[in-house]
Every structure is written in structure tokens, then in C-alpha cells.
Amino acid sequence: MHRPSLKAFTLIELLIVVAIIAILAAIAVPNFLEAQTRAKTSRAKNDMRVYATALEAYYIDFNGYPPCSTFGIPGRGVNVNAKIVLERLSTPVAYLTSGIMPNPFRATERITNATSREQADSPSFARITGAELALPEYQSYLYQSANDGGRTAFDGITGAASFPAGSSKAHVWFLHSPGPSNRYHNLGGVLANSTRSTADSDNNLSQTVKLIYDPSNGTVSFGAIWRVGGNSNSEYGYFVSQAVATQR
């Protein structure tokens, strides 16, 4: 009696199929991750444009931008008694539906160096604590506002007594996302040490440019995503505004 032969893949054929799948995955996965990063970058920049529109509308009504907290957090943060910051954009006048928008990039570290030059040349890092990461404010965009005298922060409660208080009108603002590197910069160090009065201005500008995310350096590369509005010629944070302009 003739028995039909059984047909099946050989071990070599199976290994070839597995190898082909592995090669395709090795090509596709990095491209997918890169596309995901580019999409997050576009979303962060678009969110900042939305913030910019709301901040300019706020300025028209109040002749100044919202004051900021000492550490750049956009809301009440760790101190429930601290005065609201970007929540002002959603209440009592609804310039935005929500003043605290989620950031597509979640920072895991902050750069602790005191000056923009130190951060650019040899950054030192500290892990962001779990308690901080749990706060909605730390999952949003950092915000600073200023006049030529420095940050227009709320003094006292937020510990910003050395800076102009909230009654001092802000005429420039800064928004900051950690970008694909997931590292926040020391905003005080970057802004306070990048004024027009700083010596060696050309080198200062070149160092500040290094702190700004540039996809031409690699999709996931050092640098944060910034947006500046208001008086870009302000003394305070001058080189940041100039550096941002070179990246647009």
C-alpha cells in the first residue's frame, strides 16, 4: 500500500525564515522608535505654540505675563499653599482649557550645574525623585517669566525673595521641555547666567545653543526643547532667546 509522503519545513528553512524576520525587525523597530520621537517632538512644539497664544492673550489683559515659581514648575507644585502659575491661563478667564498640559517627554533627571556653560561642556545629573514625578506639574512644561531684574517669581512661599515679586510685571517668558534626552536643565543657571552683560558674549551664545535640542545631532540627542516669547531682547535670559532663534 502506497503511503503519501509528509511534507514539512526543514530546520534550515525555519532558521532562514527566523533570520529574515529578525533582520526586518532590526530595520523596522529603530525606524518606529525614531518616528515616535519625531512625533513627540512635534507635539511638544505644537503645545508650546498653543501656550504662546494663551500667554500673549493674557499679556493683553494684564499688561504682563504670569509670574513663575522658583524652580520653573508651572503650577502649585510641592507646596499646596503656593500661588497658582499657569493655572491662571485656564481660570478665571479660559485662555486654555487646562493650564497644565502633559509633556510627551517625561524627565527622569535634571542637570544640576549652575551655569549654561557648565551644563553644555560637562553636565552633572541628579535623578528626579518619585514624589516629584508623581506631581502633574513635573509632567508638564517648565515655565519662567522675567523682566530685566530677573525672574518675576512669587516671593516668600516659593523662596524667591532674591528675585522680583509677582507684582513686578514680566515682559519675557520661557517654556522648556526636557526633549528626547529626558533631562531638565537648571533653568536658573541657564537664564541668570545668559544675560547680555555677561563677558565673552559670542562664546556664551555658542554654549547656550548647545543646550537646545537639534535633531540634526541625532533624533535622541542632548538638549532641551525651548520656546521664548515677549521681549526677546530682555536682559535676563538674553542668550537663550538668541539661541532659540538660531534653531527655528
Q: What is the pTM of this model?
A: 0.82
The three cell numbers of residue 64 are 504682563
88 domain residue, yes or no: yes
10 domain residue, yes or no: no
State yes or no: pLDDT of 175 exceeds 90: yes
**Which tens digit of pLDDT belongs to each residue from 74-128?**
776 555 556 778 888 988 889 999 888 999 998 888 898 888 888 888 889 888 8
Counted domains in the chain? 1
Give the pLDDT of residue 200: 56
Range of the domain at 210: 45-247
Pairing status of strand 125-127 against strand 150-151: unpaired
223 domain residue, yes or no: yes
pLDDT band at 59 (very low <50, low <70, confident <90, very high): very high
For the four alpha carbons of 221, 141, 105 and 133, in that order, the dihedral sign comes to positive
Residue 67 is given by DSSP the state P
In the sheet with 183-184, reading across from the earlier edge strand, the strands are: 125-127, 109-111, 183-184
State the average pLDDT for the chain.
Answer: 81
Q: 33-37, long-range: CB within 8 Å, 24+ apart, which pairs?
A: 34/219, 37/180, 37/219, 37/220
120 domain residue, yes or no: yes
170 domain residue, yes or no: yes
**Which tens digit of pLDDT belongs to each residue from 4-24?**
665 666 778 778 888 888 887
212 domain residue, yes or no: yes
151 domain residue, yes or no: yes
19 CA to centre of own chain: 40
22 domain residue, yes or no: no
